[in-house]
Structure 1
Amino acid sequence: MNAIVVLAVILFALMLWIGGKNGLRSFLSLFLNFGVIFFTLAFLLAPAVNPVVVTFIASALIGCISLFFINEVNRKTIIAFVSTMITITVLLVFIFFVSDTLMIQGFGEEETEAISGYSLLIGIDFLKISVSVIILSTIGAIMDVAISIASSMHEVLKRNPSISKIELFASGMGIGRDILGTDTNTLFFAFFGGYLALLIWFKDLSYSIGEIINSKIFSSELMLILCAGTGIALVIPISSWINAHYLMKTKKSS
């Protein structure tokens, strides 16, 4: 049996055993999200289509699958979805500005040998492609923080119904601060784990620290980490405020 199939079966068994129905839906969501990304890539290669618009729509679909399909439609998932999409919108503007300023779109010197036999005249705006890559790379971490804060703040209000709006918002911010460090470090180590071969290559070619930092491929990945960290930091106050406002409003009306 293929090793990938064996790993998939093990993952399915563990998710079903630990998560039950939610675990089954989580496993199925992997394939649904893969389908969304697959069709997104097909549209990104079309010169007449704006990659950023396609990525935003794909982010909304991924959010629906990851939040509503797995955890069903409820107050927590709706608030987490709204918080995620607001953060993505703000982050899009920020990433556009940073990418245009740094001019790191396209291919670096280290990739010229691999693409030397291909034509670069493909009619695609690489700035928009780089923005799309960063958004798709950060959507998972942003959703994770948004749903974590939403679930925690719902529990805080449930355990302490007399809490004020300001105190509830402060609770959300406190929860977010604890998540911020671990999620940012997760992205950081994921980068070094995925690009360890590149760092070894830099070492073998005796790159100086300055040459590594100024390398386009290294800078683009480092910017991805920083933008992802910015997205995680942004979603904390956004999600905390929306949760506090909505929960207090529904509490008064009930």
Structure 2
Amino acid sequence: MKKWIIASIFLVVASLSLAFTWNNATYYDKPIVKVQEVTVVEEETIVDSYRNEDHLVTQQIVGEWQNGKKKGKQVEWTHIASRSGAADFLLKERMHVFMERHQGEWMAVQVKRDHVVVLAMFGFIGFLLLVGGKQGMFSLISFGVNVLLLYGAIHLYVQTNNVSLIALAIMLAICFVVVSLVSVSGLSPKTYVAIVTSLVATFVSLGVVLLIFAWTNERGLNYEEMQFLSRPYRTVFIAGLIIGSLGAVMDVAMTMASTLFELAEQPNATLARLKGAGEEVGRDIMGTITSILFFAYMSGSVPVMLLYVMNDVPLNYTFSMNLSLEFARALAGSIGIVLAIPISLHMTLRYLTRKKVIT
């Protein structure tokens, strides 16, 4: 009965939040228009110098002002955009768009998407609570705390010039690991093992990567994608390496610790059996987690790579310019994953034998 009450409250809050974001134009300073009618006036095929074909669409739009002094009045304008949507967007009925005035004419500059964000957020929270229950709630809390910690650290670094980004990243890594693992598993021996394993594996993998960088003199790393940073790009990249590999390393560390602690409670558990089981589990998860980490990093570069390829840029140049940093991030995380398995296995078995849980 209690679960049904909580679920009902959640659905009511989600529905009210979605309704509010759909009708909250009054609280925005920028003019907002709701698109009511869309008429395609003309569609033209365009081909660039690289023989890439696109379609340029001219739309006649009728909309209604949603805020400001003109609220409730209609507005008409001509909107020109491409079918590809690479640098613009086509308008559809019921869309809410932000408007700006250029050379005496109103034009849509951005789509209002806060209701989509709210819908996705409550969908994520709902599935997390449905599948994880109490653990899911604690995971959600830890996620919120970690977001606040990250925001505070970035704000501190941006506002001050005498704070080391590397030191901030190290402190953030420690906080992220402790908050995430304690909130999910509580204060227990397996949590302590997972925390120590995660931190040791992360920092050792960082040391290995830095040694590789020093040995190769960072040949093959193209920092061009970070050229707009006003801070030292190498420092920002290394700080990203520290934070980026934490998630996968924590996952492996907690999986190993939880599995071994559960197996240790079996009546026929021995040191040899636990060691064999731990090695088997480690081999099984090492490949999958490493692949997940690799694809997660590489996927972010796919859109830009497609633009390079479609403009006849050589593949070797495309890969080196877009994947060098992503590959380095994946490499750092993979080293951390590989290190986390034996470290977690050794620490867990040592704790269990010292406490005489197994012999």
Please state whether the residue corresponding to 2:297 is helix, strand or coil: helix
Please state whether the residue corresponding to 2:265 is helix, strand or coil: helix
Which portions of structure 1, spanning 4 or more consecutive aligned residues, are displaced by more than 4 angstroms? 103-106
- Equivalent of residue 67 in structure 1, options 173, 181, 199: 181
- Aligned residue number for residue 233 of structure 1: 338
Contact 1:105–1:127 (Cα < 8 Å) also in 2: no
Long gaps (5+) in structure 1 = none
> How far apart, in 2, do the equivalents of 1:98 and 1:189 lie?
22
Deviations 1:31-68 (A, max 9, x none): 11111111222344443222222111101111111100
- Aligned residue number for residue 210 of structure 1: 316
> How far apart, in 2, do the equivalents of 1:209 and 1:72 lie?
49
Query: What fraction of aligned residue pairs are identical, expressed as a percent?
Result: 23
- Aligned residue number for residue 58 of structure 1: 172
Q: Which has the larger radius of gyration?
A: 2
> How far apart, in 2, do the equivalents of 1:188 and 1:75 lie?
31
- Equivalent of residue 146 in structure 1, options 249, 253, 274: 253
**1:20 is aligned to 2:133:** yes
Deviations 1:136-190 (A, max 9, x none): 11100000000000000111211145412x4423322211111111111111221
> How far apart, in 2, do the equivalents of 1:173 and 1:40 lie?
38
The offset of 1:92, in angstroms, is: 2.3
> How far apart, in 2, do the equivalents of 1:200 and 1:65 lie?
39
The offset of 1:95, in angstroms, is: 2.7
- Equivalent of residue 157 in structure 1, options 264, 267, 286: 264
- Aligned residue number for residue 187 of structure 1: 293
> How far apart, in 2, do the equivalents of 1:183 and 1:75 lie?
24
Contact 1:33–1:65 (Cα < 8 Å) also in 2: yes
**1:102 is aligned to 2:218:** yes
- Aligned residue number for residue 70 of structure 2: none
- Aligned residue number for residue 94 of structure 2: none
> How far apart, in 1, do the equivalents of 2:206 and 2:156 lie?
19
Please state whether the residue corresponding to 1:237 is helix, strand or coil: helix
User: Are residues 160 and 223 of structure 1, via their aligned partners in 2, closer, same or farther at CA, if it must alter by over 3 Å?
Assistant: farther
- Say which structure, 1 or 2, has more relative contact order (CA 8 Å, 6+ apart): 1
> How far apart, in 2, do the equivalents of 1:96 and 1:111 lie?
19
> How far apart, in 2, do the equivalents of 1:161 and 1:5 lie?
50
**1:87 is aligned to 2:201:** yes
> How far apart, in 1, do the equivalents of 2:157 and 2:335 lie?
25
> How far apart, in 2, do the equivalents of 1:39 and 1:75 lie?
30
User: Are residues 60 and 151 of structure 1, via their aligned partners in 2, closer, same or farther at CA, if it must alter by over 3 Å?
Assistant: same
| Equivalent position amino acid for 2:304 in 1 | L
**1:42 is aligned to 2:147:** no
The offset of 1:193, in angstroms, is: 2.5
User: Are residues 161 and 27 of structure 1, via their aligned partners in 2, closer, same or farther at CA, if it must alter by over 3 Å?
Assistant: same
Contact 1:105–1:130 (Cα < 8 Å) also in 2: no
The offset of 1:214, in angstroms, is: 3.0
User: Are residues 38 and 104 of structure 1, via their aligned partners in 2, closer, same or farther at CA, if it must alter by over 3 Å?
Assistant: farther
The number of residue pairs the alignment matches comes to 243
| Equivalent position amino acid for 1:80 in 2 | A
**1:135 is aligned to 2:242:** yes
- Aligned residue number for residue 84 of structure 2: none
- RMSD, matched Cα: 2.3
Contact 2:270–2:358 (Cα < 8 Å) also in 1: no
Long gaps (5+) in structure 2 = 1-17, 19-114
> How far apart, in 1, do the equivalents of 2:336 and 2:358 lie?
33
> How far apart, in 1, do the equivalents of 2:358 and 2:273 lie?
19
Higher helix share: 1
> How far apart, in 1, do the equivalents of 2:298 and 2:203 lie?
27
- Equivalent of residue 8 in structure 1, options 121, 124, 129: 121
